[in-house]
Structure 1
Amino acid sequence: MRSAPGVESSGGDAPRSPQLLDRRFGRDEIAVVRHEVSARLTAAGLAGERLQGFVLAVNEVITNVVLHAGGQGRAVLWLAGGSAWCTVTDSGPGIPAHYLQQPEVPGAFEVGGRGIWLAHQLCDEVTVATGPIGTTIGLRIELPRRV
């Protein structure tokens, strides 16, 4: 699986370019992380539906960490190559193989199962590196071109 630009291939290392955010989180910090991501990307020029969609994708991924991967993780946000990147890393047991395929539209009455699907709909790129010692999900969205 490809690594995000500026991220070491081991998946959990910090990016080489300047970071906007690097924080560990647990169940009680989900809203705090969401607000921090929103504030930093607003300052970087992302706005409107693109901003809201990317923040929602980050929220879904960190919520999955809390619910399914041991309850704690690390979120790193940075800018590189005209895009905003966010990696979310956990030390859970890994994502089962049947969840790694391109997600299909969840059924109307299914409970759950929308987080990764939403990330694919709202981001320009989603990467996943997973194994028995943890998972790193990379989310990318292009920033508006400055005139």
Structure 2
Amino acid sequence: MEETVDREVLRPAPGREPSDAVASHQNPGGSALLDQVFGHDDITLLRHEVLQRLEPGLLGDRLDGFVLAINEVITNVVLHAGGSGRLVLSRTATAVWCTVTDSGPGIPEEHRHPPEAPGAFEDGGRGIWLAYQLCDEVTMATGPIGTTIGLRIDLPARLSTSDLLNGASAGG
């Protein structure tokens, strides 16, 4: 019997459309910064390792949000998907990707769509919502043999001296 895997791309937040010419549901590869298997006892260490692998200033003021999104996804793996997973952090010329894979039972249908903000007194349900708010793209491939969540954050535009002399601005 053939297993089916549902692949879904959660649309980017308004104004955060993909800038890479790569299919939005795939990690475009690039330079591997970290490839780590993790479990419950590794969450804090892994979060610090991610911070160390990203160059100072690389993501500007969005660094902490990206690391928070990664933390939420790996915590979900530990709590809901069998307790262990694999994180791969990579960089392209225009973005940083984090792909988290587990071998859990898959994400239930009701949690596969772009989530709405959880209620103030709801217990849980904020991990994927936060990732969606803090990243430029969130992708999901899930099925009965596991799930892969991809998180992408675009690198801030870098302006050269000639760009500045010719009137370019950081806003585009």
- Report how many aligned residue pairs link the two structures: 137
Any gaps of 5 or more consecutive residues in structure 2? 1-7, 9-23, 160-172
CA distance in 1, matches of 2:86, 2:27: 18
Scaled by the length of structure 1, the TM-score of the pair is 0.88
Given the alignment, which residue of 120, 125, 144 partners 1:108? 120
Residue in 1 aligned with 2:139?
Answer: 127
1:18 deviates by 2.2
Structure 2 residue matching 1:42: 3-state secondary structure:
coil
Are residues 1:87 and 2:99 paired? yes
State how 1:25-64 maps to structure 2 within 5 Å: 25-43=38-56, 45-48=58-61, 50-64=62-76
Q: Of the candidates 9, 33, 36, which is equivalent to residue 23 of structure 1? A: 36
Partner of 2:25: 3
Cα distance in 1 between the residues matched to 2:27 and 2:120: 36
TM-score (norm 2): 0.76
Q: Helix, strand or coil: the match of 2:153?
A: strand
Cα separation, partners in 2 of 1:44 and 1:4, compared to 1, 3 Å: farther
Deviations 1:66-117 (A, max 9, x none): 0000000000000124000000000000000110111011000011100000
CA displacement 1:98-146 (0-9 Å, x = unmatched): 1011101100001110000000000000000000000000000011223
Higher RCO structure (Cα 8 Å, ≥6 apart): 2
CA RMSD of aligned residues (A): 1.4
On the 8 A contact 1:42/1:51 being kept in 2, the answer is no
CA contact under 8 A between 2:81 and 2:102: conserved in structure 1?
A: yes
Q: Percent identity?
A: 64
Where structure 1 has 5 or more consecutive residues not aligned to the other structure, the ranges are 7-14
Q: Is the contact between residue 27 and residue 150 of structure 2 (CA under 8 Å) also seen in structure 1?
A: no
Structure 1 counterpart SS, 2:121:
coil
Q: How big is the shift at 1:43?
A: 4.1
Change (3 A) 1:93 1:84: same
